Structure 1
Amino acid sequence: MTPRWLRALWGSGTGRFGIVVALVIALTAVVSLFWTPFDPLSTDLRDRWATPSWPHLLGTDGTGRDILSLIMAGARTTVFVSVGAAIVATVVGIALAALGALTARWLRETVAVLVDILIAFPVLLIAMMISSVWGGSLWVVIWSVGIGFGVNIARVTRPELRRVQQSDFVLAGRASGLTPAQNLVQHLLPNVAPVFIVQLSWSMAVAVLAEAGLSYLGFGASVVEPSWGILLADLQRYIAVHPLSVVWPGLAITLTVLGLNLLGDSLREATDPTLAHRSAEVHTPEVVA
């Protein structure tokens, strides 16, 4: 039987859009591992700046590379960075939130100060600073965005954890002999999942933007790694002559970020009973006697 939250998610227009976008990007990344119309890194100077046609559905760039193949291969980089950043953000966020809500007072206050300091630094700035020292790579983007949004997740979920910690079922679990770790897994985290999920989706969306932006500036993916940011940087130099070619990587980035954000918002509404109930009340037509 389909879970209620999944039915609610699919019943929302924004939820369906987010699901479709996420599935298309994931499927494109998987397919590109085995097949692309052309070799993404293969150049053919005889076929430079080809207009969209049957062999090259989205045209070619200034070196004759097929743009559709480059976008398909770039989806691999997007999925790798967004999923990697989400995993890092999950670990960092849960660890800091748990330390800031469930430990001794002096440790809670120390973690709170640390979170407030780290959250003052923009994620992209941290990534650029790290890249200038260690060199640009996808791992720099993953760790920078993951840690940055892990701090954001901890800051948002810490008050929720402390609120849920005073609930009767948590106190009953503690009285029955559950350890703090067991209480965290069984009672606390499921009750802050809606807040956690939307923050996590934002971290994935920002990871896509960060990878594209840093690669555009030369701090992200290397030139031998297909990336939407690198492709956008290459094509925008010729935007006055070949404006259509720039549309495709820009559209891919925009739709992916928009889809992930809308998916996160819809997930929160579908998994939070109070939001779902409020939405149902708004959409219930008034019956006139």
Structure 2
Amino acid sequence: MSARGSWLSRLWRLSTGRFGLIVVAVVLLTAIVSLLWTPFDPQQTDIPGRWASPGWPHVLGTDGSGRDILSLLIAGSRTTVLVAIGAGAIATVIGVALAALGALTARWLRESVAVLVDILIAFPVLIIAMMISAVWGGSLWVVIWAVGIGFGVNIARVTRPELRRVLQSDFVLAGKAAGLSPLQNLWRHLLPNVAPVFIVQLSWGMAVAVLAEAGLSYLGLGAPVTEPSWGLLLAQLQQYLTVYPLSVVWPGLAITFTVLGLNLLGDALREATDPTLSRGRDPLHPPRGAIRHVPEVVS
């Protein structure tokens, strides 16, 4: 079995990994399907049919304007996927770049990058997003860039010490002796060995990106009114909590399960890709230094 198939099978054997994969796959599939089909037009109003109870044809009911809640949730998954992937991509580029500059360059540049990261990390991500949104107006791209930059700094802070540790390994020194450039060493040896730590930080950043978008949309600083969003839907429905309390449950559950799935998937990926953790869970491959106790047979 290949290395990729091996860690994929380990990932699926973990209950957290299965749950995370299923949740993320469902959200991604829903976002793709929403591009082609939704039960009703998400923005179509039907005043006579407002506040319909769950049933047929409105499976989850309707809101105060008669819009189908299921269609709004399906369409809102596009916004969630766009924010999570966009913020994750930006955080990856910024985090890897800062970590590499802070680990592979001259001492004066390494220390300067470390000081810069310590300064930037003092500002909470959500506060930065709220400040930028308040200045530039509510926009999904503002949320994506704000969360991406904020968690890129977090990724750099956690990944930089790991890169410095792996940099002293024998295989990295052998790569240098073989004539590999710093970028080639980074790609072939350093990044694969810090991948478990990086994956956890990235999944956490994507989960917080989903929460940030929902929170800012709830406050009116995220997605515009014309763009379907779970946070915006939650803000609109909570005003009528006493009229139809069940309607608030659906967007809240969608946000909760998506964030939980991303967090659990990141933790499971760390266990599946980290050989020391995976050996610890495999009785045939105990952790290094562990003693396998064999029970004695008493006659």
The one-letter code of the counterpart of 2:186 is L
Name the residue aligned to 2:67.
65
Cα deviations by residue, 1:215-257 (Å, 9 ceiling, x for unpaired): 0001100000000000000000111221100000000000000
Q: Given the superposition, is the C-alpha separation of residues 125 and 31 from structure 1 closer, same or farther in structure 2, using an over 3 Å criterion?
A: same
Mapping of residues 153-164 of structure 1, within 5 Å: 153-164=155-166
* Structure 1 residues 116-171: Cα deviation after superposition (integer angstroms, max 9, x where no partner): 01111111100111111111100011111111111111000101100110111101
Within 1, Cα distance between the matches of 2:213 and 2:281?
Answer: 35
Check 1:287–1:63 CA distance in 2 against 1; reply closer, same or farther (3 A cut).
farther
Alpha-carbon distance between aligned partners in 1 of 2:122 and 2:86, rounded to the nearest angstrom: 23
* C-alpha distance in 2 between matches for 1:267 and 1:37: 35
Aligned to 2:247: 245
Task: Write the letter of the residue equivalent to 2:15.
Answer: G
Name the structure 1 match of 2:258. 256
1:10-159 correspondence runs (5 A): 10-159=12-161
Aligned amino acid, residue 17 of structure 1: F
If the length of structure 1 is used for normalisation, what is the TM-score?
A: 0.97
Distance 1:221 1:244 in 2: 23
The correspondence for 2:171, drawn from 162, 169, 172, is 169
Determine if contact 2:162/2:194 at 8 Å carries over to the other structure.
yes
Where structure 1 has 5 or more consecutive residues not aligned to the other structure, the ranges are none
Change (3 A) 1:112 1:282: farther
How many residues align structurally? 289
For normalisation by structure 2, the TM-score amounts to 0.94
1: CA distance, partners of 2:31 / 2:7: 27
Which range moves more in the overlay, 237-246 or 262-271? Answer: 237-246
Cα displacement string for residues 92-128 of structure 1 (whole angstroms, at most 9, x for unaligned residues): 0000000000001111111001100111111110011
Q: Could you tell me which runs of 5 or more consecutive residues in structure 2 were left unpaired when the two chains were aligned.
A: 287-291
**Residue range with higher mean Cα deviation, 237-246 or 60-69:** 237-246
| Superposition RMSD in Å | 1.6
Q: Which amino acid aligns with 2:205?
A: S
Paired position in structure 1 for 2:289: none
Does structure 1 retain, via aligned residues, the 8 Å contact 2:91–2:202?
A: yes
Where does 1:2-17 land on structure 2 (aligned, <5 Å)? 3-17=5-19
**CA–CA distance in 2 between the matches of 1:278 and 1:146?**
34
The offset of 1:279, in angstroms, is 2.5
Q: What CA distance in whole angstroms lies between the structure 2 residues aligned with 1:79 and 1:99? A: 30
Query: Does the residue aligned with 2:35 lie in a helix, a strand or coil?
Result: helix
In structure 2, distance between residues paired with 1:62 and 1:48? 5
Shift, 1:190, TM fit: 0.5
Instruction: State the AA in 1 paired with 2:267.
Output: D
User: 2:138·2:223 contact (CA, 8 Å) conserved in 1?
Assistant: yes
Give deviations 1:58-105, integer Å, cap 9, x for gaps.
000000000000000000000000000000000000000000000011
Q: How far is the alpha carbon of 1:277 from its aligned partner? A: 1.6
- Per-residue CA deviations over 1:28-84 (Å, capped at 9, x if unaligned) read 000000000000011010100000011000000000000000000000000000000
Equivalent residue, structure 2, for 1:187: 189
Determine if the alignment matches structure 1 residue 220 to structure 2 residue 222.
yes
Residue type of the partner of 2:225?
Answer: V
The Cα of 1:286 is off from its aligned counterpart by: 7.6
Measured in 2, the distance between the counterparts of 1:251 and 1:279 equals: 32
SS of residue matched to 1:117 = helix
Please say if residues 279 and 285 of structure 2, whose CA atoms lie closer than 8 Å, have aligned partners that are also in contact: no
| Deviation at residue 287 of structure 1 after TM alignment | 6.3
Separation (CA, whole Å) in 2 of partners of 1:180 and 1:283:
33
Q: Secondary structure at the match of 1:192?
A: helix
Distance in 1 (alpha carbons) for counterparts of 2:53 and 2:26: 25
Provide the secondary structure at the position in 2 that maps to 1:34.
Answer: coil
Q: Percent identity, aligned pairs only?
A: 75
Task: Provide the C-alpha distance between the structure 1 equivalents of 2:138 and 2:108, rounded to a whole number of angstroms.
Answer: 38
Within 1, Cα distance between the matches of 2:261 and 2:269?
12
Equivalent-residue separation in structure 2 for 1:32 and 1:170 (angstroms) = 46
